[in-house]
Amino acid sequence: MTSFSKILAAFVTVASLGFVGFAIAATFGGPDWSGVMSEKYFNAYEITRSPSADRAWQAVRGSDQGQVASSKVLPEVLTKIMDEVYQKQQQELQNLQQREPALRDKIAALKKLNEMDDAALTAYVDQLRARLTAINNEFDELSNKVTGMSVESSKLETQVQARRDDVVRLGQQVREVEADMFRLREVLGQLRDTDYQLQEQLDRAKERQKLLEEYNPAPVN
């Protein structure tokens, strides 16, 4: 398993912190079950007590009303819920591991964009600007010559028109390059944001991995 896979393996374990707290509270803190049931890990479940004679506790999923556990002992019901949440986290871990190759490809592509030589693009734009300035100067010179050279006016006008076309064409190229540079800077900014977010996720994943190694709930008979 690669280091990246190991980090992904820890990504979903931060939620287990609440489970550890629950176990500690249940063992040392006294039976404050109403407080335990208010934890966010139980928000997706409906925990009720049957009005029948057995007064059994029942837990169903809020999404599909499927029953998760039923017992006269509330801690057993809560433990069943915790086991199911733990299994869901394991499934999420597997999904993250399956997405790892795609994430690696995306990161590699972003890094490749980051390695593009911005200085080279700037130099290319400067070169185009210099050519554009030279052509504009030539255009002005030819325009002045047209005024005093009626014999060659037709030929010079043709040259002037060609230079005008060059001015328009090169001006369009300059605008396109400038637009490419703007988009590149946006991509680089997105890359920095993505790297920052990924680093935060990896840091949280390390904490989850540590907690997952410390906590492995035993099945309830």
Q: Any idea what the Cα angle at residue 219 is, between residues 218 and 221, rounded to 5°?
A: 130
Write the Ramachandran bin of 72: left for phi over 0, alpha for psi from -120 to 50, otherwise beta: alpha
Mean pLDDT is lowest, of 17-21, 91-95, 190-194, 200-204, for 17-21
Threshold 0.75, pTM exceeds: no
- Structural element, H or E, at residue 46: strand 45-49
Range of lowest pLDDT (45-49, 100-104, 118-122): 118-122
* pLDDT of 7 above 70: no
DSSP 59: E
Q: Which helix (DSSP H) or strand (DSSP E) does residue 163 occupy?
A: helix 153-214
Kindly report the number of other CB atoms within 10 A of residue 29's CB atom. 12
Mean pLDDT value of segment 56-74: 88
- Tell me the C-alpha distance between 169 and 33, whole Å: 76
Are 181 and 121 within 8 A, CB to CB? yes
Query: How far apart, in whole angstroms, are the C-alpha atoms of residue 191 and residue 140?
Result: 45
Q: How far is CA 149 from the centre of its chain?
A: 66
In this prediction, residue 154 carries a pLDDT of 74
**Residue 114 pLDDT:** 64
Task: Say which residue, 153 or 135, is predicted with more confidence.
Answer: 135
From 8, 3, 5, 4, select the one nearest 204 (Cα to Cα): 8
Mean pLDDT of 100-109: 80
Contacts 24+ apart (CB under 8 A), 116-125: 116/184, 118/181, 118/184, 121/177, 121/180, 121/181, 121/184, 122/181, 124/177, 125/174, 125/177, 125/178, 125/181
Q: Report pLDDT for 150.
A: 66
Q: Which of 58, 177, 160 is nearest to 120 (CA)?
A: 177
